[in-house]
Amino acid sequence: MNPQATETGVRQLGHFVGGRWIDSKSQSFQDVTNPATGVLLARVPLGGADDVAAAVLAAREAYPAWRATPPAMRVRPMFKLKQLLEEHFDDLARTVTREHGKTVDEARGSVRRGVDNVERACGIPSLLMGEALEDVGQNVDCEAVRQPLGVYAAICPFNFPAMVPLWFLPYAIACGNTFILKPSEQVPLSAALLIDLVQQAGFPAGVVNLVNGGRAAVDAILDHPDIKGVSFVGSSPVAQHVYRRGAEHGKRVQALGGAKNFVVVMPDANMDHAAEAVAESAYGNAGERCLAGSVVLAVGAAAEPLRDRLIAQSRNYRVGDGMDPKTEMGPLISKPHRDRVVGYIGKGVEAGAELVVDGRPVVAQMPQGNFLGATFFDHVETQMQIAQEEIFGPVLCMIRVPDLDAAIAIMRAHPLANATSIFTTNGKHARQFRYNVDASMIGVNIGVAAPMAFFPFGGAKGSFFGDTKAHGMDAIGFYTDKKVVISRWV
């Protein structure tokens, strides 16, 4: 089981290397606090190159035997992991809430999405099958088989502490690779629990490893010559850095970045449904979601009825500790991040947007945590900072546009393109929208277009660096190489 309390009674985390938890070689630690209460939960080591090197060594040593284990045997501990995740489902969801702040319901939803990937990876014997064709020439046959490559690493963000690691870990190892997880240093506890379950599931030592840390650990992963590929999820500037530096060292990289997601509401939409879905998209997970719809583009006559409904929705969000079942919106991850979001509200006011619902009074009303209320701006202009930059908090901006073409033009001009949605009852509008937007996760009358485990997850333009996305069949492509064998037997 993962570590030990210190003399002060605070749990001090380590790294998981070669099948056991070990102390960090780095003496640098960061506090992990509950964002709803400010209570200190643990101290996480900020691992460096030595810690990464130890994990790579363990993963490299475990690789030959794991790779040679038949896929049908490799999935046995995977089935066990799935069972353990079900048994510890609530514990995991509560750990997510405790360290991240989202409501327990939201946490459960995200853990379910993570477990879906474990379930899917249990089918790896079928997913890994290659292709074959007899008689590509006279007496010549050809086949393509998929092979693992070696050691992979995944670097994760703070906003989905259990789900995002599970986008990668199950597929990487089911394909026969060995793996190093680098969780966000802001939320290391869910990953530690996941690793405890991996250990109980019976994967051989060294197949899955974990290094805690921040920037230094990331750069050590990117520079290490024995890591073949890196999966990354986080903000766009870091995604781009990971993509560049990983590629410089000859690695495969899939880097999922940040977002500024636009939601279009047509005048023909069902307004009640649209307003409810837009509010949930903007304020769910306190807006800390790469799929959050943070700018609503109200087309023509949609604006007034939508405004009224969004005001009602925004005022109704009950803010509190995510552990309380009555809470609808938890705190933000940290005080500096909360202050950054509050700063954006000030910038919106300064730029002349109409602040219709102001969530800032919540800051003083609930000083124990990093709380902020739902905030709604109307009459936002496209060039304003609040309309252009990822805020990653519960702030919804409404821009009024004359028609669908104008809405699409705003989206196409934006450098990020992760997800988008349209609300309409008109199939022609829906088709024009899906055909022309750049974002690659699209909702039609859906506020949060989150692809399930069996579909690829990832955006476009500055929201994604690479070519193969997370989960879906892309995961199998990312974690394997295709080897083609051409044979003649005469």
Residue 275: is it exposed, middle or buried by C-beta count within 10 angstroms (0-12/13-18/19+)?
A: buried
Report if residue 45 touches ligand NAD, rule: CB under 6 A.
no
- Of all residues in the shown chain, the one whose CB is closest to ligand NAD is 234
Closest to 269 (Cα-Cα) out of 447, 143, 94, 58: 447
> Three-class SS of residue 486?
strand
Report if residue 212 touches ligand NAD, rule: CB under 6 A.
no
DSSP 277-319: HHHHHHHGGGG--TT-EEEEEEEGGGHHHHHHHHHHHHHH--B
Q: Which stretch binds ligand NAD (CB under 6 A): 21-29, 134-142, 250-258, 421-429?
A: 250-258
Give the one residue of 127, 155, 207, 345 binding ligand NAD; rule: CB under 6 A.
155
Ramachandran sector of residue 76 (left: φ over 0; alpha: ψ -120 to 50; beta: rest): alpha
Contact at 8 Å (CB) between 183 and 165? Answer: yes
Report if residue 295 touches ligand NAD, rule: CB under 6 A.
no
Contact at 8 Å (CB) between 136 and 142? Answer: yes
Contact at 8 Å (CB) between 410 and 383? Answer: no
Q: Which stretch binds ligand NAD (CB under 6 A): 13-21, 158-166, 261-269, 375-383?
A: 158-166
Minimum distance between the CB of residue 241 and ligand NAD, rounded to whole angstroms? 6
Residue 290: active-site member: yes
Closest to 55 (Cα-Cα) out of 20, 13, 4, 11: 20
Cβ nearer to ligand NAD, comparing 122 with 222 = 222
Assigned token pair, 273:
């449904």
Minimum distance between the CB of residue 381 and ligand NAD, rounded to whole angstroms? 23
H or E stretch at 411: helix 404-413
How far is the C-alpha of 274 from the C-alpha of 443, rounded, in Å? 12
Report if residue 420 touches ligand NAD, rule: CB under 6 A.
no
How far is the C-alpha of 409 from the C-alpha of 47, rounded, in Å? 45
Half-sphere CA count of 151, side-chain side, radius 13 A: 23
Give the one residue of 130, 150, 214, 267 binding ligand NAD; rule: CB under 6 A.
214
Report if residue 474 touches ligand NAD, rule: CB under 6 A.
no
Give the one residue of 121, 192, 259, 286 binding ligand NAD; rule: CB under 6 A.
259
Closest to 279 (Cα-Cα) out of 395, 416, 435, 135: 395
Cβ nearer to ligand NAD, comparing 163 with 201 = 163
Report if residue 271 touches ligand NAD, rule: CB under 6 A.
no
Report if residue 463 touches ligand NAD, rule: CB under 6 A.
yes
Contact at 8 Å (CB) between 186 and 158? Answer: yes
Cβ nearer to ligand NAD, comparing 398 with 448 = 448
Minimum distance between the CB of residue 264 and ligand NAD, rounded to whole angstroms? 20
| One-letter amino acid for residue 375 of the chain | T
Report if residue 238 touches ligand NAD, rule: CB under 6 A.
yes
Minimum distance between the CB of residue 195 and ligand NAD, rounded to whole angstroms? 16
Cβ nearer to ligand NAD, comparing 74 with 224 = 224
DSSP 339-382: HHHHHHHHHHHHHT-EEEE--THHHHH-TTTT----EEEES--T
Minimum distance between the CB of residue 59 and ligand NAD, rounded to whole angstroms? 18
Site string for ligand NAD, 60-99 (x = CB under 6 A): ----------------------------------------
Distance (Å) of CA 204 to CA 80, 139, 227, 448:
13, 42, 19, 38
Distance (Å) of CA 186 to CA 191, 256, 260, 409:
11, 18, 22, 37
Report if residue 192 touches ligand NAD, rule: CB under 6 A.
no
Minimum distance between the CB of residue 103 and ligand NAD, rounded to whole angstroms? 18
Give the one residue of 16, 66, 152, 158 binding ligand NAD; rule: CB under 6 A.
158
Annotated catalytic residue within 122, 156, 290, 397:
290
What residues pair up with 44 in beta bridges, in sequence order? Answer: 30
CB neighbours (10 Å) of residue 465?
Answer: 23
Q: Which stretch binds ligand NAD (CB under 6 A): 29-37, 53-61, 149-157, 393-401?
A: 149-157
Minimum distance between the CB of residue 117 and ligand NAD, rounded to whole angstroms? 14
Q: Which stretch binds ligand NAD (CB under 6 A): 188-196, 256-264, 353-361, 375-383?
A: 256-264
Contact at 8 Å (CB) between 102 and 324? Answer: no
Cβ nearer to ligand NAD, comparing 84 with 189 = 189
Minimum distance between the CB of residue 257 and ligand NAD, rounded to whole angstroms? 6
Give the one residue of 29, 392, 433, 479 binding ligand NAD; rule: CB under 6 A.
392
Cβ nearer to ligand NAD, comparing 109 with 214 = 214
Report if residue 419 touches ligand NAD, rule: CB under 6 A.
no
What residues pair up with 30 in beta bridges, in sequence order? Answer: 44
Q: Which stretch binds ligand NAD (CB under 6 A): 119-127, 181-189, 278-286, 396-404?
A: 181-189
What residues pair up with 296 in beta bridges, in sequence order? Answer: 263, 398
Report if residue 327 touches ligand NAD, rule: CB under 6 A.
no
Active-site positions?
Answer: 290
Binding residues vs ligand NAD (CB under 6 A): 155-160, 182, 184-185, 214-215, 218-219, 233-235, 238, 241, 256-259, 290, 390, 392, 418, 459, 463
